[in-house]
Structure formats: C-alpha cells, structure tokens
Structure 1
C-alpha cells in the first residue's frame, strides 16, 4: 500500500494558521481550545488528502459536498471516536469552512448542511456537602509527609470553597499570596474574574505554606511538587482517588467535581445563577445552567423572582 499524500499544502497550512489566529484574537479562545481546533482540522484535512488522492488545498475545498463530510464522519467513528468528540470535531471543521468560504468566496452551504451526530450530554455529578467535607478530612491525613497532605488539602479547598478550576489553582504564584478578600483569576479565554476567598481557604493555604520546605518567591509556583517544580494536576487527582476509594465514592468524585459542588451548593443555599456564572467564569449562562443541573423551570423561576416585572 502506498503512503498517503501529504495532508496539507503550503497554502492550506497558511490558511489554517490564519484561521487559528483569527479564532484566538477575535473569539477569545483559550490556548487549550486553539490546540484542540488545530488537532480537529489536521484530522479532517489529513482525511481529505487520502480521500481526494492529493494534498488538500483551499481551492480543493470549493467542491466539498455532503458525501465527503459523511465519509469523514464514518472514518472517524470507525477509528473509535465517540459521538461527542466527533460532534466537537465537526463543529470546528464547519467553523473553518465558514471562515474560508467568506474569505475565498466559495459556496460551501452543502458541506455545511451536514449534521453532527446526536449524543447525550452528561451532567456533572457534584458531591453532597457531607461527602465534600469527608473528602477534605481524608486528604488532610492521606500522605505520610505532612506538608504534602497540607498542600493537597489547600488545593482542594480552593476548588470547593472558591470554585476554581484545578488549572487555575495550580497556576497561582507566590505573588498572589497573601490572599486578599478576593482573588483575581485569569480563566479560559483570558477572562478575568474576582473570586471571594473564604477564611477556611485562606487558612488552608497558610497552613500549607507554614509547613512547605520551599521558599515562597513572587515568580515561583505557590503550590509545588516534591521536587520543587509547579505541582501537577495528577498529584491532586491521585490524592482524590485515594480518598474516594476509602470513602466508597463513585469515580465521578474527581477534583473537578468539587468545583461542580461549589456551584451546586451555592445555588441550593439561594445563590442566583448570574452571580454563580460570574464566580465560575462561564461565558454563557446556559453553561452554568447545565453545570449546576438546573432545569428550565428553575431558571424561569429565578428570572421571575429577580426581574422587576416578574411579580
């Protein structure tokens, strides 16, 4: 069997780079999203190279129709890609095709009409308040090295007590300490938000720093691994895994589940969705709605109670 043709021509490589730059600059995409989009488009253009028998070029895209899009979807599913991952990949491809059709004047309406596979979006499963407390208590005594246990407890307390993403907590540096009443967090897409810091979270970090063997420096990580480098998410995930095994919690009890729990527990205590959206750093209220498992009836009740004309 002969080797497949090159996936990209020079012109296509340039077009892809320009599209990614446009997405990053005008749509406020995060670095993670841009990397994912690049992988999605490389997979698509690589497929086209083999399907068409020649390296894909911007000009070759002008003839795309639904058969090519269906063939790509079938190829990806045959490789084991899930319906959810394929839907995301096809969304990126359509976004690129819309951009290049505007740029080059192509009519790609037929290709853009191809449907993505349906999938059931899994809802996050937060821990109950008691489960969250038990988890933190377990982590506090989990490691044979006291400062490591204190470190893991501090990180997980920030996730549950402040709603941080694990990447946001681990991205903190020495200059962020001491915490004021609120932390300035730079989240996905470079969006900044103010997150109140509970006394318990402040104390947990203070306890960790008091035991840490590493000197706190402004340009160095706040949370360090045992060798002094920036703490990796895998260490926190391992700590959480051991805690849930002892407590008999489900596999969904991950560090990220504590962030879900932050949002859900606030809502249960009477917090409104818009405030929770701001605390989480979500760009869309619909994301917060799914995140907290809120149904449409509850959402409408929030609107009616909050709006001056609602009563």
Structure 2
C-alpha cells in the first residue's frame, strides 16, 4: 500500500487515459500534449482531479488568456477540450475511477466542463489576424535575404555557409510546392519525382508528400504535388542542392532531403528558425511565420487562374472551404477578374472603346 496514495492514483489515471487514446491510434504528440494540460492544471490548482471544481478550471484558463503572452482562442479551446475529455474518462463508470476515489479520498471526480464554460467554435478561421499571404515582392525579398546570408557568411569566412544555403533552398521549396513544415521536414531524396507530362522539369516534376496532416487516429496522409510552370525557377535551385551542395555535408546513405552538418535530418525548429532569420533580414512583419509561405502558394495559384479543385488537391485540403481560408488575392487580381467580367458582359462597349 502506498503511504501517499493520491499521486499513485493520479498517475494511474493518466496512464489509463493515455492507453485509451493509444487504442484509438491517436498520435503520440497529441496524447502527450493533452496529458501535459492535465498536469499543468494539477500544478496550478494544487489539487487532484477528484478535487477539481469549475472554479479551478476557469481560473486556470483565465490565467492563460490574461498573462503577458495570452494564448489564442484556438489554443484555449484545445486545452479545455483536453480537460473535458480527461474528465469524461475519469467519470465514466466503465473505468471505475469514481469508486476508487470515493473509497480512498471520500470524493469522486466530476465533469465540471460543459457548454456553459467552454469555448464555442463559431468561425472557420481563428488564427492571428496578422497571418496572411506574402506579396510577390515580399516573397522575393525573403528569398533575397536568405541568399544574402550565404554571401555574408562566406565573406566573413565563418562557418555555416552550407547550412545557410540549405535553408535558402528549403524555403524556396516550401513555397514552390506549398508544403507544410512537417511535410518539408519529412522529404527524402526519393520523394523527388519525374512528371512524364513535364519532362523538362527532370526529377523536380513532382514531390511525393508522405507526412501530410493526418485525420484523427489515422496515419499521415500522402499526396503528390505537381510542379506548376510558374514555379519552374525552383528546378535549377533544387538540382544544384541535390547534386552539388548536399554531398558536401557527407550524409552517406542518409535518405533525408535536408541534412545537417552532423549528418542527420534537419529539425522542425531549425526550419522555423530559417524562415525567421530571413524574415528579420528582409525587414518583413514579425507576425508573418513559415506557414504564410503555404498561404502565399495557395493565393498565387489562384491568381495564376488554376481551378479551385486543382489548388485544393495540390495542398491536400479535404474541403474547399479550407483552401478558401488560405486565399488572400491581391487587388490587382480582383480588378483583372472584374475587367474580364465587364468585357464579357459589355463586349460591344469594350470593342468600341478599343477601336
């Protein structure tokens, strides 16, 4: 028998809940994140789950949203959702935790979260207002800054020129194929594909994505992203990386597309840092993040007049509404559409004006 049974019961609850989620084939990162929220509330309230009341949970969320770095609405919803699921588990009679807690501590866990104190999901997009597609000039400025870092490091005869060159190619590849961070991180050399309908692109005709965003309890989704002609400038960039620069890292038989000086796969955090360094050098808005390159890809494909369904398939969205959220077309593009519509509707007036 434990001298202090409370911590032991709490850990058993956590392990049982983790097992329940593993049986549903949820991703380890998802499970760990949810458990972390439960532990944080336990530390914040200095109480165990069978002692929680609505006031403790509400105070926890209120503290997170009102600090020096308040959490976003979507983050708060995920936290509250995790706590609600945990309480669903420990109050479920099939798992017997209520009986255990009453026997040992004289009180049972309660479900203290309901529609009266949870966050409703009323809009499709709740991201930061500052997150937006980059303009063509901003994309160019970002890439110029990334290339400039390579020249600067070489001029100073410092280490890191190869890594800077890798980062520049990586950012260009993310934009040219509209990739998520994890998708770019997981690329292997074997994922570069030929497109028989676009032989001029060589091995860069398509990218096979194996680490797409997964649905609940499923494996990462896979898709093939075709290189569009407007992005063909990336072909010599990637080719030089694969044939000339990457071998200088001496990666041996490592399959990763993006390798480090230590002959390993570049980390997801390093990909974020590559964007942030280039953004800072280019003097762009600090609110912009790596995912904005994907927003830019979607927007620019729409402005290139690719059909919505094609764009949706390229980026791996299940719903067209998601693709629409990513799109922020320019005034110039909208004016072109307006002019085209006016020409089609009033062709006699336009013909007369042109003559």
TM-score between both structures, scaled by the size of structure 2: 0.64
State the 1:137 CA deviation.
3.0
1:36 corresponds to 2:42: no
Deviates more, 1:167-176 or 1:125-134: 167-176
Aligned residue for 1:42, secondary structure, equals: helix
Shift of the 109–36 alpha-carbon distance from structure 1 to 2, 3 Å rule, reads closer
State the 1:17 CA deviation.
1.1
Contact 1:66 1:114 in 2 (8 A): no
Aligned counterpart for 2:149 among listed residues 134, 142, 165: 142
Contact 2:192 2:207 in 1 (8 A): no
Aligned residue for 2:132, secondary structure, equals: coil
1:17 corresponds to 2:12: no
For residues 109-258 of structure 1, the aligned pairs below 5 Å read: 111-116=113-118, 121-123=127-129, 124-143=131-150, 144-145=153-154, 147-177=162-192, 179=203, 181-185=205-209, 186-189=211-214, 190-198=220-228, 199-209=232-242, 210-212=244-246, 213-215=248-250, 217=252, 219-258=254-293
Contact 2:251 2:264 in 1 (8 A): no
Aligned counterpart for 2:76 among listed residues 63, 66, 86: 86
* CA distance in 1: counterparts of 2:114 and 2:91, whole angstroms: 10
Aligned residue for 1:192, secondary structure, equals: strand
State the 1:39 CA deviation.
1.5
* CA distance in 1: counterparts of 2:63 and 2:283, whole angstroms: 40
Contact 2:17 2:89 in 1 (8 A): no
Contact 1:175 1:217 in 2 (8 A): no
Cross-structure match for 1:70: 58
Aligned counterpart for 1:270 among listed residues 284, 291, 305: 305
Corresponding residue pairs, total: 279
Deviates more, 1:192-201 or 1:144-153: 144-153
* CA distance in 2: counterparts of 1:287 and 1:118, whole angstroms: 19
State the 1:44 CA deviation.
3.5
Aligned residue for 1:122, secondary structure, equals: coil
Which of the two has higher C-alpha Rg?
2
Cross-structure match for 1:309: none
State the 1:261 CA deviation.
0.7
- Deviation string for 1:226-253 (max 9, x for gaps)? 3333223454444444433443321134
* CA distance in 1: counterparts of 2:253 and 2:189, whole angstroms: 4
* CA distance in 2: counterparts of 1:109 and 1:207, whole angstroms: 58
* CA distance in 1: counterparts of 2:31 and 2:326, whole angstroms: 23
Structure 2, gaps ≥5 residues long: 99-108, 155-160, 194-202, 215-219, 335-355
RMSD: 3.7
Shift of the 75–151 alpha-carbon distance from structure 1 to 2, 3 Å rule, reads closer
* CA distance in 1: counterparts of 2:21 and 2:67, whole angstroms: 25
TM-score between both structures, scaled by the size of structure 1: 0.72
State the 1:99 CA deviation.
5.0
Structure 1, gaps ≥5 residues long: 299-311
1:288 corresponds to 2:313: no
